[in-house]
Amino acid sequence: MDFTKEKQRASAWFWQLRDEIVAAFEALEDSHAVGPLSEAAPGRFEMTETRRASEDGGDAGGGLMSVMRGGRVFEKVGVNVSEVHGHLGEAAQRAMAARGVPGMADDPAFWASGISLVAHMQNPHCPAVHMNTRMFWTPHAWWFGGGSDLNPCIEYAEDTAHFHQTQQAYLDPHGTGIYPELKAWADEYFYIPHRGRARGVGGIFMDDRNSGDWRADFALTQDIGRAFLPAFAPLIETRRVQDWSDADKDAQLVHRGLYAEYNLVYDRGTKFGLATGHDANAVLMSLPPMAKWI
């Protein structure tokens, strides 16, 4: 099962989505904002190439890490895209086998490509957000995964409704049961057991998606990505001009502590990236620039 053309097509899509999101986020930076950096120059992404550490010192692929820090709207936002390959280590093989991925003992070769982003905002009224989509391949299997979830520290019911309704509108053409399934999966996946609560207000999530129809699964993955900007950007357009207090900022920093705890303790993507030798700075890009614990 080679899937060369399919892998190329998926990787090209992730890069295209990355370009669209980076352009949209820089456009938000050009718009008016409030706060101590409102008169500063608009923030811009800094690009850094990343490489995966291979087992034998050869080429194992890499990607592009795009990070903006200290913007007028975004305090820290990273948009990473990658295409990596090689052989899974023993720990990763066991983890994949435990999830039902076939053939790990016979051939641990893999290929993976995807886009991942996390945005932490200056204004506490603007919600933080996460999105990723990815394709994973082995000689015996392939699947897609990803989703997006909203993480406000100050919750607005209308923002949560818009985020979910937009995602549902993009997913319903793939079957009216898809959105409820992926929403329930996100509610379970983004839960923090030791805190007894979710890290945000949910969204959509899927993993190990292989219906047997590659084109259909890829189309669903694309629409998860396409839904992101219409679901998120209007919220920032509305909230970026609201005044905030020191108490609001303090609440934001405390809420970011939840985000950091989840990503370091539970997030499967963080664990996989570090275990398979991907650039640690790119893997940990999701962590907020500042956080606070009570």
Q: Is 130 a catalytic residue?
A: yes
Sole residue written with tokens 């990355």: 18
Separation CA 129–CA 31 (nearest Å): 19
Distance CA 29, CA 233 (A): 12
85, 87, 125, 130: the active-site residue? 130
CA distances from 48 to 10, 60, 115, 181, 211 (A): 22, 17, 15, 36, 35
Alpha helices in 58-140 (DSSP H): 90-98
The structure tokens listed for 119 are 């945005």
Q: How far is CA 148 from CA 78, 165, 203, 275, in A?
A: 14, 13, 6, 23
Handedness of CA 119, 23, 66, 53 (dihedral sign): positive
- 282 phi and psi angles, rounded to 5 deg: -70, -40
CA–centroid distance for 20 within its chain:
15
Active site residues: 130
